Amino acid sequence: MSQRDAVNFTEFFRYHGLWAPGVRLFRRLRFLGKAAVIFAVFLLVLSPLAIVFVRSTQAEIAKSERELAGLAVQHDLLALFELTPPYTTVEIVES
C-alpha cells in the first residue's frame, strides 16, 4: 500500500469513523432505497424472534391437543365406571 492509498483510506473514515460506509451509501440512495435497507435490517433482526414465537406456540398447541385427548379418554372411562355396580363395603380378613 502506497502512502497515497493510506491517506485516502484514513480520509474515508475521518469524519464518520466506522459508520462511513453506511453514511456514504445513504447519501447516494433515494428515500425508497433507504427504506428498503432499513426494512431489510429489521427483517433480519425480527425473523429469528418470529421463528421462536411460532415454534413455542406450536408446542403449546400440541400440548393442549394431548390434554384434550386425555380428557376424552377420562370421559369415556368415567362413563364406564358409572355402569359398574357399586361396591361400597370392603371386608378385611385378618388371619
In a domain, 88, yes or no: no
In the block, cell 406456540 appears at: 57
In a domain, 92, yes or no: no
In a domain, 79, yes or no: yes
For 31, 40, 41, 66, 80, the CA distances from 28, given in Å and listed in that order, are 10, 18, 18, 56, 77
pTM score, two decimals? 0.54
CA pair distance 92, 95, nearest whole angstrom: 10
In a domain, 22, yes or no: yes
In total, how many domains does the chain have?
1
DSSP string for residues in 59-72: HHHHHHHHHHHHHH
pLDDT of residue 49: 96
In a domain, 64, yes or no: yes
Name the residue range of residue 20's domain.
Answer: 3-83
In the block, cell 425508497 appears at: 32
Over residues 45-79, the pLDDT tens digits come to 999 999 999 999 999 999 999 999 999 999 988 88
